[in-house]
Copies of this chain bind each other. A is one copy, B any other.
């Protein structure tokens, strides 16, 4: 835009450089996501990533400090996405009923997971696959999710909706159920995609391939009936 030959070029150059740098980063992250999804964290090597990103070995270390760091970055990204999908349940007069808010949360999370299935596939795996640091990060995130659910249940009970139960156990159960369903939903979809690609019309575990809204509803119903009166 700025054709001025000398005064601004420094800024312009710097900006362009930074932009290019950012784009490179994204490309590498995208490549790493693919690789991690296919091979898992451990089996994936830096060699796999640089091959997928079509960059030189050294370039990788120009953008990331190592395999762990790139994973940590992906984890952060995913956690942000999921956090962005969840709204705290409010009792404001004009707001929809709490259960509807919860249903909306489930739906949004599922939508986000589907929209970023590569990332989600990686992150829904057990944290034990990663090393200590990454593990802690994911642990913390899931703990927060549990906190949210506990809050929801407590809120429900204070309104006289929820039965008497151990909130923590219920929350852990709900998280576990959600994770397992999402995991298997992603696996089923991946397999269905693979089957279609190969021309086979094998339909594995049809139940998990229904549209996400119904899936979310089914989960919410299970959760609600289990907890609320």
Q: Are A172 and B153 in contact (CB under 8 A)?
A: no
Q: How far is the CB of A227 from chain B (nearest CB, A)?
A: 6
- List of B residues within 8 angstroms of A26 by Cβ: none
Interface pick from A2-10, A75-83, A108-116, A158-166: A158-166
Contact flags (1/0) for A117-136 with B, using CB distance below 8 Å? 00000000110110100000
- List of B residues within 8 angstroms of A225 by Cβ: 163, 225-228
For this chain, the copies found in one complex come to: 4
A203 interfacial by beta-carbon distance below 8 Å = no
Q: How far is the CB of A6 from chain B (nearest CB, A)?
A: 18
Contact flags (1/0) for A158-201 with B, using CB distance below 8 Å? 00011101111110111111111101100000000000000000
A222 interfacial by beta-carbon distance below 8 Å = yes
In the bound assembly, the distance between CA atoms of A176 and B178 in angstroms comes to 7
In the bound assembly, the distance between CA atoms of A223 and B222 in angstroms comes to 8
* Contact residues on A (Cβ < 8 Å of other chain), bracket: 35 or more
Q: Are B224 and A226 in contact (CB under 8 A)?
A: yes
Q: Are B228 and A170 in contact (CB under 8 A)?
A: no
- State which of B168, B208, B227 has its C-beta within 8 Å of the C-beta of A163: B227
In the bound assembly, the distance between CA atoms of A42 and B226 in angstroms comes to 38
Q: How far is the CB of A172 from chain B (nearest CB, A)?
A: 5
Contact flags (1/0) for A193-229 with B, using CB distance below 8 Å? 0000000000001011010000100110111111111
Q: Are A180 and B175 in contact (CB under 8 A)?
A: yes
Given the known A-B contacts A128-B125, A129-B126, A161-B229, are A219 and B175 also in contact in the complex, defined by CB atoms under 8 Å? no
- State which of B167, B169, B215, B227 has its C-beta within 8 Å of the C-beta of A226: B227
Q: How far is the CB of A174 from chain B (nearest CB, A)?
A: 7
Q: Which residues of A contact B (CB under 8 A)?
A: 40, 42-43, 99, 125-126, 128-129, 131, 153, 156, 161-163, 165-170, 172-181, 183-184, 205, 207-208, 210, 215, 218-219, 221-229
